[in-house]
Structure 1
Amino acid sequence: MPRPTSDRLPLNRYPVRIVIPTRFQDLDAMGHINNVAFAALFEDARVRFNWSLGRLNRGDGFRAVVARNEVNYLAEGSYPEDVEIATGVGRIGTRSWDILAVMHQKDRAIATCDTTIVMTHPADGGIPDDFRARLAAMTLDDAAA
């Protein structure tokens, strides 16, 4: 897989940012944050982002699941420094959308994550117009690149 382009790395391209503490248990035998912990940190940020959009898996019949998740490791992460994860929406399709994220630590990008979310219910039709508008409001800022 190709390395992410430099325009994906600045925090200010993304509409939502969250700081998450690292944990001692996130370390591997070499003393770095392990790849599973990277995925879990991205998952935490993505779930919080999804919940902020509303409507996802909240009992109103609209459901969506992760169909693809790709993490690109750019540099080592360390403990006990926090990470900052910036998140936004990339592609919006008929029944799916991409959530893009970048993780920074000590003022440098250490990983990116691209996740495709797919609607599973309702089984027919596309993304509801109100939710599509919320997704569109959360796209990456091209002007900040």
Structure 2
Amino acid sequence: MKHVFTFVMPIRWGDMDAMGHVNNTVYFRYMEQARLEWFASLGRSGKDASGHGPVIINASMTFLKQLRHPGDIECRVYAGKLGRTSFETWTEIIRTDLPDVIWAEGGAKVVWCDYAAEKSVPVPDEIRRLIEA
């Protein structure tokens, strides 16, 4: 997989649960936000003029260490395993104050979709070129 984007964001107080650590569902939101910021950096936020855009068909996460507020995280986004209409993404979540420790890592399969037809369409050329380069 190829590193394609890095996004830094704060761990918010409200991200924690009653156990005093970031709730496991929030890690998926971190991964989602990093992926959406990557798409936005490519001019691909939401559906395009033809009604095409990304959908996620599966996602997984491995929780390695417990994140706690306060602090900032860095989400390192990778992309690869390119198909005609889909590609895999992988995200590493790291605290910025401990950059050599991966706190969580996970993946999501992205399918490019015609939203109105609810059918897959080819991955846009600029994203394909970026992943293949």
TM-score over 0.5 for the pair: yes
Deviation for aligned residue 1:52: 1.9
Q: CA RMSD in A?
A: 2.2
Residue matched to 2:61: 71
Give the structure with the higher percent strand: 2
Cα offsets for 1:50-88 (capped at 9, x unmatched): 222334512233222111111111111010011111112
Q: List aligned pairs for 1:7-22, cutoff 5 A.
A: 14-22=3-11
**Structure 1 CA distance, aligned partners of 2:129 and 2:112?**
16
**Structure 2 CA distance, aligned partners of 1:90 and 1:131?**
11
Residue matched to 2:37: 48
Residue matched to 2:106: 113
Report the count of equivalent residues: 126
Give the structure with the higher percent helix: 1
Deviating more after overlay: 30-39 vs 119-128: 119-128
* Structure 1 residues 124 and 25, CA gap change in structure 2 (3 angstroms): closer
Deviation for aligned residue 1:124: 7.0
**Structure 2 CA distance, aligned partners of 1:64 and 1:124?**
9
Q: What's the TM-score, normalizing by structure 2?
A: 0.82
**Structure 1 CA distance, aligned partners of 2:25 and 2:58?**
16
2:82 maps to amino acid: I
Structure 2: any 5+ residue segments left out of the alignment? none
Q: What's the TM-score, normalizing by structure 1?
A: 0.76
**Structure 1 CA distance, aligned partners of 2:33 and 2:82?**
21
Identity %: 26
Structure 1: any 5+ residue segments left out of the alignment? 1-7, 138-145
Runs of 4+ in 1 over 4 A off after TM superposition: 122-125
Deviation for aligned residue 1:131: 3.4
